[in-house]
Amino acid sequence: EITQKPSISVERYRYPQVQSTPPDRSF
């Protein structure tokens, strides 16, 4: 789970537009 936490943080930082949609489902 520790690896999933930073992953979401980077996805949100890299893809601010995805903030509206959960990055977990985006991929």
pLDDT in tens, 1-27: 555 555 556 666 666 565 555 656 554
Quote the pLDDT of residue 8. 58
- What integer pLDDT is reported at residue 23 of this predicted model? 57
pLDDT the model gives residue 1:
55
So what's the pLDDT on residue 26?
52
Q: Would you state the pLDDT for residue 16?
A: 59
Q: What is the pLDDT of residue 24?
A: 62
Give counts: helices (H), strands (E), the chain: 2, 0
What lies within 8 Å, CB to CB, of 18 at 6+ separation is 11, 12, 26
At residue 11, the pLDDT reads 63
